A and B are shown apart, each in its own frame.
Chain A
Amino acid sequence: MFFSRDQVIRVNAETEDQLQLLQALEAREEWEVDFWLDPVSTDLPIDIRVPYDSQTAVMEYLNANSIRYSVLISDLQELLDEEKVEMQKNQMKERMTKSFNFGAYHRLETIYSWMDTLVAQYPNLISKQEIGKSYENRPMYVLKFSTGGNKRPAIWIDTGIHSREWVSQATGVWTANKIATDYGTDSSLTSLLNNMDIYMLLLANPDGYAFTHTNDRMWRKTRSMNPGYSCRGVDPNRNWDAGFGGPGASRYPCSDSYHGPSAHSEIEVKNVVNLIKSHGNFKSFISVHAYSQLLMYPYGYSCRNVPHQPELDAVGTAAVQKLTSLYGTRYKVGSICNIIYQASGGSIDWSYNLGIKYSFAFELRDTGRYGFVLPANQIIPTASETWLALKHIMEYVADHPY
């Protein structure tokens, strides 16, 4: 049926007589009125669809009998058309985000286009910002989760800075989706996002990531050229201005832990530094790596305790307890230097020294059985358990403003 310019009106019968008059209205077949809510009592509303051609007559009938009404829908067809468009759009978006397999490793292009569908599906929560380009001129995108305000206190999460650690990027993707879908339903996350922003850099080393797909699955570094050497790349997590060039980083370009010619020489690092510094209101900085099953806090460049060591250790320990509760996965907590090795020029040392107290680094699954080539069927379990730890840290940060 075609409902162009049909109206839907709401009537309230005030007396029994009026109720009977409305019941009689239905008998007037030539008017073809269609009751959406039948005239049953004077207590209940009565909704009637009045075809366009009958409107004048029906309104006259109601007015003549002092039956009051209001217009609920002024053009039913218009409403139906809008609904149809809306449904199609939603179906498409859902197909795109539903059809994205979070339990698989994806190429860079796929992740980038998925990011666009996520932003399109949650435009009031998520925006995509280009923070600069990589060495090979790939855009670097940050997803900003925000419910408003102006430079609200923010949480930073980066994944994939070491490109071969594939479960890191994959966890980032799942987590971004999780935040998007849980906002509005999970009370603590909703409360957090009503007061703070979350920034996620899913591919912190896009050139490296592309290279792991095309040439060398075990590539770790950036892809910058090192003058005079055939070896490319700098370890982006030895390139930050925190004890730069000290122990635990190599000065040899061919090394997988080469610190680079100078602090922040890598554009991928500089882009993040610029964002964090110009924003000025980050309260937490979390960097996600794999593998070893660790949750660490600064320092890496020195084994001496940071002033906030007891607090960071307590937060980390509680976060890990939540992680373990899901599948029994065991993590160790401690400073980078004590737990794995002394390593200078690391990102969370830099962020901590900048004043971002709650700086943490994750090393996700596993402990070496599969190592970097973690089976894809472990992505979602890894991301799910990690989420519990991340949420704990974020909630703690939100509860402890400084």
Chain B
Amino acid sequence: MATGELNPNHYQAQRAAKVVQHYLNTRNGSPFRLFRLSRVHSGNLEDLVDSGRKYQLEITVKESISNTTEKLSASVLFPREERQGSAQVQASCDELLKVNITAQEEAFYQQYKNSQNLVSAQYLPDSHGRIDDDMRPFWHLSIVASSFVMLKESNENTLYNMAQVANVTQLATENDQLKFDGHILLHDMVSQEIIHWKLQFTWSPPEGVKVLQMEQLPHCHHCEKPQNSN
């Protein structure tokens, strides 16, 4: 694959830039803050003999909920060998972090922290793209948790988005963290596969999202169950 200056619209730079999105979500994502790659302005690829292939990018990232954008520089290093781990990203979006979400986070946290009724939801969004307003923060949380998986699984031959939350179930609060079990569907644009993952994750305003367990599920081809489509 060609090194040097990349066409920002072509897939090489786009795939690397998507990894930055996943990285930013793992670091700073929350029920009220979600990053999306908006544009790639430029990209450059270096082949580093020992470490791997390094992408230098100028991108614009959008915070989905406040609809604000920020232009930033980022680098993504894909290791040469799998044993060297997943992609290494360097990026920060200080401007977007200034959007104040403290009040919403605190209110949400308090609402569900000592809850007698633990929340459980299926198919977010549903088949028609609908999602109840009070379920949106759980959808966002699931996207953030998925970002840990997507970051870990990403390489130069993948392009991940979370396709749908099959199921998210709140567990009892532990160590002041809201805790959840999630079954999420990831979509890899390159292989076009839908990949099922089970995650256990926690969240609190000071700690952010942490993933305790992640496990890929085999997709059982002859046991698809009907969704609540209508």
Contact = CB atoms under 8 A, between A and B. Distances in A.
B224 A216 contact: yes
Contacts of B227: 216-217
Contacts of B98: none
30 contacts: A104-B128, A216-B224, A217-B164, A217-B227, A218-B164, A218-B187, A232-B221, A256-B194, A257-B191, A330-B39, A333-B9, A334-B9, A338-B7, A339-B9, A339-B10, A340-B11, A341-B11, A341-B190, A367-B36, A367-B37, A368-B36, A368-B161, A368-B187, A371-B162, A372-B187, A373-B164, A375-B125, A375-B128, A375-B129, A375-B130
B192 A376 contact: no
Contacts of A235: 192
Contacts of B37: 367
B9 A332 contact: yes
B83 interface: no
Contacts of A368: 36, 161, 187
Contacts of B192: 220, 235, 256-257
Contact of B221 (A231, A330, A374): A231
Interface string B1-17: 00000010111000000
Interface in B115-167: 125-130, 161-164
Given A231-B221, A256-B192, A257-B192, A217 B127 contact: yes
A210 B126 CA distance: 17
Given A218-B163, A231-B221, A339-B11, A373 B194 contact: no
A212 B226 CA distance: 9
A127 B146 CA distance: 48
Given A230-B221, A371-B163, A338 B11 contact: yes
Contacts of A370: 125, 129
Contact of A292 (B189, B191, B194): B189
Interface in A326-347: 330, 332-334, 338-341
Contacts of A219: 224
Interface of A: 104-105, 166, 212-220, 230-232, 235, 250, 254-257, 292, 330, 332-334, 338-341, 367-378
A335 to B, nearest CB: 9
Contacts, number: 95
Q: Which 3 A-B pairs have the closest CB atoms?
A: A375-B129, A368-B161, A216-B224
A375 B227 CA distance: 16
Nearest to A341: B190
Contact of A369 (B64, B185, B191, B229): B64
Contacts of A212: 127
B125 A334 contact: no
A372 B193 CA distance: 13
B163 A230 contact: no
Contact of B129 (A213, A254, A373): A373
Interface in B1-49: 7, 9-11, 36-37, 39
Contacts of A250: 191
A376 B187 CA distance: 20
